[in-house]
Amino acid sequence: MRTLFLLFAFCLPFLIAAQEECKTAEDCFQRGLRTLFDKEKLAYQNECFSKAIKLDPNYMEAYHYRGGNYYKQGLYKEALKDYDKYLTLMGKSKKPSKYMLAKVHYQRAETYTKLNKGKNALADFKKASELMPKEEKYAAAYQAAQTKK
């Protein structure tokens, strides 16, 4: 019995800490990232990313990851909103990453495709392939979207 009590007393602080609210946007974001590859935790991740955004409405990466999760969940309109916000924030950045801009344009194009918005998808596939012309995936997607026109 004493061993059980000691085990409980030792583990209790860790259990309480795990359930504490995150206090900073970075903390919330990191909590979501810790479970990123667990498909069963998408709702938890979205909650973490949403809290990060609530604490810091300019937290670009939280929009990116939440947008990706929305896409995985089939919530395409929500994903588009997050991708749009990410691209807006990235556009205001002093040194925007071409790689990330291309990636999010590609992801947004994929989302437009799911919503049967071919013209929008074509424009984003084109932008992604222009930003990263050596990326074969982007060029191939742009070519495929052109043939569907």
Q: What is the pLDDT of residue 38?
A: 87
Contacts of 111 (CB under 8 A, 6+ apart): 71, 76, 79, 80, 83
Angle at the Cα of 122 (from 78 to 141), degrees rounded to 5?
95
> Of 24, 80, 89, whose CA–CA distance to 52 is shortest?
24
- DSSP secondary structure letter of residue 82: H
Q: What is the pLDDT of residue 2?
A: 53
Q: What is the pLDDT of residue 1?
A: 53
pLDDT digits (tens, 9 = 90+) for 118-144: 999 999 999 999 999 999 999 999 999
- DSSP secondary structure letter of residue 28: H
pTM for this model (two decimals): 0.83
Q: What is the pLDDT of residue 17?
A: 38
Low-confidence ranges of the chain (pLDDT < 70): 1-19, 149
Q: What is the pLDDT of residue 5?
A: 41
In one-letter notation, the amino acid at residue 25 is A
Q: What is the pLDDT of residue 84?
A: 98
Q: How far apart are CA 122 and CA 126, in angstroms?
A: 6
